[in-house]
Amino acid sequence: MKVLITGGAGFIGSHLAKYLLEENHHITIIDTFSDYYDVTRKKEHLEQIQTIGEFYLETFDLRDEVKTLRHFRENSYDAVIHLAALPGVQYSITHPHEYIDHDIKAVVNVLRAAGETGVPHVVFGSSSSVYGDVEGPVREDQAEGKVKSPYAAAKSGAESFCHAYSSLYGFKLSILRFFTVYGPWGRPDMAIPLFIKKILNGEKIEIYGRDQSRDFTYIDDIVRGIFLSLHQQTESEVFNLGNGQPIELQRLIDLLVDHFPDAKIVDRPFRKGDVKHTWSDIHKAQEQLGYHPEIDINEGLRRTIAWAKKYYE
Ligand code: UGA
């Protein structure tokens, strides 16, 4: 299969590229190397992909409608996996317009270009944040648009554009809602990678509410879920890709202290924009895709810490 991964130099995209290369797919990556986090890290991601196999790389900004359409006209893809995005809940509160540009406008450009050039399948990387504040495990039909941050609003809006363009052009659509993905090469601004890095540096970690909980999901499970949606999905669908077993941040701290007894922790007030809890109901992905997350938080954290020690030391 010829597959385009937008945001392929990012955390999830680079793991996915490696997996798809191992499965003998032809991979093109479009990435603009935004500096939301260290660009050097993204270059290292690409080096990691190169250890597995060859791929095509295009460096341009998907907010550019003309360049995007031209790229799609010059290439033909069996599937497009749109992972390029400006992430980060807190940054979106101070920079909302950037999210309209990166997380909606660029999505529309990709959807339209894919539709115009007859791409049969578009996969969109969405987020658990579209559920807002909800208690208990959430099913895919429980997203009502009552979100808590501009980031989540952009993801929620982008999902609507996905439905609109799938309806207009007839391509198969997969909306995959990821739940707080972590693992080796994890996005450095997210809690688990940030905590591990700070502990290794002897710095204090800050906790914005120990009673918050997250359905932390290991990267290999997410990548496998995306792969399954490429190969098993017959109709347009929305799927939660989570672990299905959330933990409170207190539990995360306890696990980290098991690994690093000297970890220094400071409590801070809860931050507006964050949701208190996430918890995916993954029955739909289990039944329709055969998605079964395999790595629990103990094993996932062990692997992530082992990677971080090697990477930083
Ligand atoms: C993350 C990503 O940042 C989003 O891009 C993504 O869409 C979302 O997951 C998702 O999967 O839906 P979040 O769940 O808030 O958002 O993940 P983290 O930034 O890793 O935070 C996890 C938890 O740790 C939150 O409760 C947060 O308040 C807390 N946290 C984070 C701290 O207590 N201290 C910190 O220094 C950072």
Domains and CATH numbers, the chain: 2-179+218-243+280-294 (3.40.50.720)
- Is the pLDDT at 135 greater than 90, yes or no? no
- Is the pLDDT at 313 greater than 90, yes or no? no
pLDDT of residue 31: 98
pLDDT of residue 5: 99
Which of ligand 1's atoms lies nearest the C-alpha of 194?
Answer: 36
Which of ligand 1's atoms lies nearest the C-alpha of 252?
Answer: 24
In terms of DSSP bridges, do strands 237-241 and 172-178 run parallel, antiparallel, or are they unpaired?
Answer: parallel
Q: What are phi and psi of 121, to 5 degrees?
A: -145, 125
In terms of DSSP bridges, do strands 121-127 and 264-267 run parallel, antiparallel, or are they unpaired?
Answer: unpaired
* Mean pLDDT computed over 56-70: 98
Confidence of residue 177 (pLDDT cuts 50, 70, 90): very high
Task: Decide: 166 in ligand 1 pocket, CB within 6 A.
Answer: no
* Mean pLDDT computed over 28-35: 97
Confidence of residue 77 (pLDDT cuts 50, 70, 90): very high
pLDDT of residue 80: 98
What's the gap between Cα 133 and its chain centre?
19
Q: What is the mean pLDDT of the chain?
A: 98
Confidence of residue 271 (pLDDT cuts 50, 70, 90): very high
Task: Calculate Rg over the CA atoms of the chain.
Answer: 19
* Active site members: 151
**Dihedral over alpha carbons 212, 218, 222, 228 (to 10 degrees):** -130
Q: What is the pTM of this model?
A: 0.98
Provide CB contacts within 8 A for 190, sequence distance 6+.
Answer: 180, 182
Provide CB contacts within 8 A for 299, sequence distance 6+.
Answer: 218
Do 74 and 36 meet the contact criterion of CB atoms below 8 Å apart? Answer: no
% the chain with pLDDT above 90 = 99
% the chain with pLDDT above 70 = 100
Do 82 and 124 meet the contact criterion of CB atoms below 8 Å apart? Answer: yes
In terms of DSSP bridges, do strands 264-267 and 213-214 run parallel, antiparallel, or are they unpaired?
Answer: unpaired
Beta-bridged to residue 27, according to DSSP, are 3
Which tens digit of pLDDT belongs to each residue from 201-221?
A: 999 999 999 999 999 999 999
Which of ligand 1's atoms lies nearest the C-alpha of 87?
Answer: 5
Q: Which protein residue has the closest C-alpha to ligand 1 atom 32?
A: 207
Residue with tokens 């660009």: 39
User: How many other β-carbons are positioned within 10 Å of the β-carbon of residue 33?
Assistant: 14
Q: Which protein residue has the closest C-alpha to ligand 1 atom 19?
A: 190
From the CA of 180, how far away is ligand 1's center (Å)?
7
Provide CB contacts within 8 A for 159, sequence distance 6+.
Answer: 124, 126, 130, 143, 175, 238
From the CA of 274, how far away is ligand 1's center (Å)?
7
Confidence of residue 246 (pLDDT cuts 50, 70, 90): very high
Q: Which protein residue has the closest C-alpha to ligand 1 atom 16?
A: 180
